[in-house]
Chains A and B, each alone.
Chain A
Amino acid sequence: MSGGVVIVGAAETDDIGTLPNHSTMRLHTEAARNALRDCGIDKSEVDGIAGVSMPGPISVAHSLGIEPRWVDTTSVGGTSFLTHVRHAVAALEAGHCSVVLITHGESGRSQVGAPRYTPDPASVVGQFEAPYGVTGPPSRFTVPFLRFMKETGTQARHLADVAVAQRKWAAMNPRAKFRDPITVDDVQNSPVIAWPFHLLECCLVTDGGGALVLTTEERAKDLDVAAVRVLGTGEGYEASGISMMEDFTTFKGFKNSAADAFRAAQMTPADIDHLMIYDAFAHLPLYGLEDLGFVGRGEAGEFVRAGHTSPGGSLPMNTNGGGLSYTHTGMYGMFAIMESVRQLRGTAPAQVAGVRTSLVQGNGGMFAAGSTLILAAAA
């Protein structure tokens, strides 16, 4: 049990969406300053920093005027920020630092000061996947789903059910990119991207950022904030290439990371009030619900269709609208954590009544990495 560390600051950039006047660096620093303001901790007290990709946490720290004595650059795709939280908990408990700042900024849409992703043709993926026209996530991340359908009885239509359920949450969230209600027909009539996936079953591409401030429960006592406790964390990994995934119906990154987090928190899925599952594509929540143990094998699609994850349902999921409707900069994990913090603080636009516990499940790469956070409201 790692109840000794809390999230005290959490904030996104002022705006998210299309921000051509924000460099990648500006997205990091704006989010960081907002998060520090959120908790009332001065930057001079920050001695640990974590981040991923360019410009990197040393650059971000220097830009902010912070001199870290602990840095984490763990780079495991969109779930990196959840992993940073897990590593920050260990560092804070070990006394390696006393206040950790985790930043994300990505100019995913406008590409201002952003890194280019170019596959190395000599890498394993470059040799054995890239020659087949699979340069982007839509044609790689989606490949396992037909096998998942065949083995579990899931239907392609369940992808649309996920998109419809999440749009209901987005409709209540003024910051969500897409807010108009949609039907299953709307989803299935949107352009085919990589059959069986349609446009509305694929995530947005946006600009934005977010940042977190973590410290010990002891330090947090003097702060006038609703501290969010980190009860359990986990991480798990599979393979860098989608074709190397061992079983196309289950993801080790979800299964192993969540099992560790539940063990650490001494909890089971029945103890979770609110759930965020990283949704770069609409099949991820279906895998997640099953791999995390919220439903049995082959039951996720019907569970979503029946409304259990929708507003008023028993397991509110992706309540910001998710990567499908809210925002997706490219590395969405930070925004999933943000929504869990808001729900636990009681400040979410689509607030669910009585949320005491929340689980955030991240994905990194394409079924390559997973990390899990189990968070709880202030005692």
Chain B
Amino acid sequence: MTGTIEEIRGKTAGVKRPRAKMAPSATPETRPYWDAAADGRLSVQRCQACSHVYFYPRDFCPVCSSDLVEWIDCSGRATLHSYVIEHRPGPGFENDGPYVVAVVQLEEGPRMMTNVVGVEPLPENLPLDMELTVQFEPRGDMWVPVFAPAGASA
């Protein structure tokens, strides 16, 4: 948006100025996950000793404690495990209208919190176990995975 301060004020009158959506801050053990996300890949960890696939990132296996863990790229397919439709928006979501806070189950096994996007947030559009596919949204300088109904165009 360009123009004088008065012009900008005129254009934004009545619009609630959104704060920034909260951006994650990477730590050494989560850095590969966020680097992959910035590259458009959803990456989680698999234990080479017991084959357990897990999320959130840790540099050891939470099941068998092995240090031999590797990063794998997920298919991006997931199912809708549970959710709410948030009517009292958090910071940065003020102008989004109601939005879906969900936990999805990845095809590879782990579950994660996310938003379901690309669909009007109504219960009839959001049956549990519906199929979803990943896409990425910016949060500050970071990119976070969100999910849309499978087959919907991004």
Contacts and interface: CB of A to CB of B under 8 A. Distances in A.
B92 interface: yes
Given A128-B56, A132-B101, A243-B113, A121 B24 contact: yes
Contacts of A191: 87
The contact size tier of chain B is 35 or more
Interface stretch (A13-21, A140-148, A206-214, A302-310): A140-148
A interface, over-half SS: mixed
B102 interface: yes
A127 B25 CA distance: 6
Contact of A243 (B25, B96, B112): B112
B87 A127 contact: no
Given A122-B26, A143-B82, A134 B90 contact: yes
Given A128-B56, A147-B81, A248-B81, A133 B93 contact: yes
Interface stretch (A67-75, A192-200, A312-320): A192-200
B92 A128 contact: no
B22 interface: yes
Given A129-B113, A136-B90, A143 B22 contact: no
B86 A133 contact: yes
B85 A195 contact: yes
Contact of B90 (A120, A121, A128, A139): A139
A126 interface: yes
B88 A131 contact: no
B25 A132 contact: no
Nearest to A128: B56
Contacts of A193: 87-88
Contacts of A96: none
A122 B25 contact: yes
Contacts of B123: 195-196
Interface in B75-117: 81-93, 96, 98-99, 101-103, 111-115
B26 A127 contact: yes
Nearest to A192: B87
Contacts of B128: 146-147, 150
B65 interface: no
Interface string B30-57: 1000000000000000000000000110
Given A147-B82, A243-B113, A131 B87 contact: no
Interface in A47-79: none
A84 to B, nearest CB: 30
A196 B85 CA distance: 7
A296 interface: no
Interface centre among A124, A133, A145 (most CB of B within 10 A): A133
A130 interface: yes
A241 B56 CA distance: 11
A194 B98 CA distance: 9
A37 B114 CA distance: 51
Nearest to A140: B101
A138 interface: yes
B11 interface: no
A40 interface: no
Given A130-B22, A194-B86, A143 B102 contact: yes
B92 A133 contact: yes
Q: Which of B21, B86, B93 has the most chain A CB atoms inside 10 A of its CB?
A: B86
A192 B97 CA distance: 13
Interface centre among A131, A136, A140, A193 (most CB of B within 10 A): A131
A226 interface: no
Given A130-B24, A143-B102, A241 B88 contact: no
Contacts of A127: 24-27, 30, 56
Contacts of A131: 21-24, 139, 142, 144
A119 B22 CA distance: 10
B60 to A, nearest CB: 15
A150 B130 CA distance: 13
Contacts of B88: 136, 138-139, 193-194
27 contacts: A119-B22, A121-B24, A126-B24, A127-B26, A128-B24, A128-B55, A130-B24, A131-B139, A131-B142, A132-B113, A132-B115, A132-B144, A133-B22, A133-B86, A133-B93, A133-B99, A134-B90, A139-B101, A143-B103, A144-B103, A147-B81, A150-B128, A194-B85, A195-B84, A195-B123, A243-B111, A243-B113
Given A194-B87, A195-B84, 4 more contacts: A128-B55, A133-B90, A134-B90, A195-B123
Interface of B: 21-27, 30, 55-56, 81-93, 96, 98-99, 101-103, 111-115, 123, 128, 139, 142, 144, 146
3 A-B pairs with the lowest CB-CB distances in the bound complex, closest first? A147-B82, A243-B113, A133-B90
